[in-house]
Copies of this chain bind each other. A is one copy, B any other.
Amino acid sequence: MIRVQREDFDPGAELARLTAGNHRIGGAVSFVGLVRDFGGDKAVRAMTLEHYPGMTEKQLAAIEREAGARWPLEASLIVHRYGRLALGERIVLVITASPHREAAFAACQFLVDWLKTKAPFWKLEETPDGAAWVEAREADDQAAAKWRQG
């Protein structure tokens, strides 16, 4: 299940809803990404996340399907926000639930790595020096590349 939205989300409520009544789930892994106060060296106060409506949903759905094909998942959820986000605000939520904790961890990390490198989002950071588009980080590409070898 995927959602792209401007509004905040409630990680605990989403987890409860996703796992409710499914007794085959032994472990659920959740990732919450937050706006933090340094992007590289600069002091970040807020950012605006732009995305490509339509393509975002299409790509997230494809990535989620791929995770479900690679690992024995009972349930998964991706919620990604866009728009202006202040320091400390939630940006993204990924939950994976499986009979086996190893599968839940691997699938969650896979999805997060892909979101960071393949989902059509662009960050405009507000710093004391003004607003600046964030450049792609090579370490993120490497994190995603390791899954292509797997």
User: Taking beta carbons and an 8 Å cutoff, which residues of A are in contact with B?
Assistant: 10-13, 15-16, 19, 21-38, 87-88, 99, 101-102, 104-105, 108-109, 112, 116, 143
Contacts and interface: CB of A to CB of B under 8 A. Distances in A.
Q: Which of A19, A34, A104, A108 has the most CB of B within 10 A?
A: A34
Contact of A112 (B11, B101, B143): B101
B36 A23 contact: yes
State the main secondary structure of chain A at its contact with B.
mixed
B10 A34 contact: no
Nearest to A98: B36
Nearest to A88: B23
Contacts of A108: 29, 105
Given A15-B12, A27-B33, A88-B21, A109 B105 contact: yes
Nearest to A113: B101
Contacts of A24: 36-38
